[in-house]
Amino acid sequence: MIVHDAAGEPISSSAMVRLLRDGSIPSGQGSTSHGRVNFVVTSLGEFTVVVEPAGAASVQKDVSVRMAGRTQVDVFLTKGTGQPGGTGHTVALAAGPSGRPILAPKAQEAFDKGLKALSADKMRDAEKFVSEAARLAPGHPDVLYVQGVLYLKTRNFELAQAALEKATQIDPGHARAFAALGMALSDQGKNDAAIAALREAERLDAVGVGFEAEWALGRALYASARYDEALASSRMALEEAHGKAPEISLLEAQSLTAVGKYEEADSVLKVFLREHGDRADAGKARRWLEGLEKMMRERGEEAKR
């Protein structure tokens, strides 16, 4: 990856660069040297690059990695701060012009190793390195955020909530921490609080917080009987997932049924079963479809009387 200045030259000063998979999963972090920084990713897909130059606005760019091998990404900074231009989207740093505090070298090393292990689903290594980063930099919001993501992935939702709440208190502009907090709250059935956290994440990050957060928002809205909003969120999550989580369509079917759009729900379930009939949740979809079609037949018979 090469970070360029407004004139198109590699930047001479150091900038922090973070890599997020699917908009929210930490996949790497490092500082540029002569404008360059390298990441090794273990899976293909959609990534977000966030460049945080010292004393300037950050730049965010979405990148698709579709083939194995080396991929060069160029990010261009603009003159001044918060001005449009370049190939990324400029966003204001939440922690002020100097951004978040820089991690000390040993904490940074543990943090980077933790990110790499987490993105590769090597949970034992992730626990080791994230714990070391937390020991060295216990109050850093990014470290707390990654702690929260680790707890989410290991289904320790209460611990995830505690770490992420602390991250958002220290850095109220940390959109990803709010998104992960919303997911932790949703997984505990704390739907009102989950909706509030996820809406705040959306407010802070106009680019989007990833399909998993949008899906969690849809589930919390459905559980709160806000069915129209749940339908909108489920459809947005499906669009952002690009086929990676077809089970989101089950939430879409539920929401369609709840708002009385039975024919659309019927169609969604049939498509899911046709394309994903070998999945573990296909049995649930078949039962829903059978019940829905029975209800539709009974309603049709009543209408004829």
Please determine, for residue 88, whether its predicted confidence score (pLDDT) is greater than 80.
no
Type of residue found at 108: Q
CA–CA dist 275, 171 (Å, integer): 43
pLDDT at 174 over 70: yes
Task: Grade residue 39 by pLDDT with cuts at 50, 70 and 90.
Answer: confident
pLDDT confidence of residue 299: 85
Strands (E), the chain: 2-4, 15-21, 25-31, 45-53, 58-65, 74-76, 89-91
Common-topology check for domains 2-91 and 111-245: no
Which residues, in sequence order, are CB contacts of 199 under 8 Å at separation 6+?
217
Pairing of strands 25-31, 58-65: unpaired
pLDDT at 116: 87
**CA–CA distance, 147 with 290 (Å, rounded to integer):** 43
Side-chain half-sphere CA neighbours of 32 within 13 A: 26
How far apart, in whole angstroms, are the C-alpha atoms of residue 225 and residue 255?
A: 9
Domain 111-245: top CATH class: mainly alpha
Average pLDDT of the residues of the chain: 84
List the chain domain ranges.
2-91, 111-245
pLDDT (0 to 100) of residue 294: 92
Handedness of CA 217, 238, 233, 290 (dihedral sign): negative
Tell me what pLDDT residue 138 has. 87
* pLDDT, position 76: 73
Burial classification of residue 276, based on how many CB atoms lie within 10 Å of its CB (0-12 exposed, 13-18 middle, 19 or more buried)? middle
- Whether 96 shows a pLDDT value over 50: the answer reads no
Q: Flag the least confident range among 155-169, 239-253, 256-270, 291-305.
A: 291-305
- Return the pLDDT at 9: 75
Query: Which range has the worst mean pLDDT, 76-90, 110-124, 182-196, 282-296?
Result: 76-90
Whether the predicted pLDDT of 86 surpasses 60: no
**Pair of tokens at residue 192:** 């009102």
> What pLDDT score does 24 carry?
61
Better pLDDT: 101 or 30: 30
Tell me the three state secondary structure of residue 86. Answer: coil
Q: Where residue 93 falls among pLDDT bands split at 50, 70, 90?
A: very low
- Mean pLDDT over 139-154 rounds to 92
Summarize the confidence of residues 225-248 as an average pLDDT: 95
pLDDT beyond 50 at 97: no
Class of domain 2-91: mainly beta
Rounded to whole angstroms, the Cα distance separating 264 from 89 reads: 36
pLDDT at 22: 65
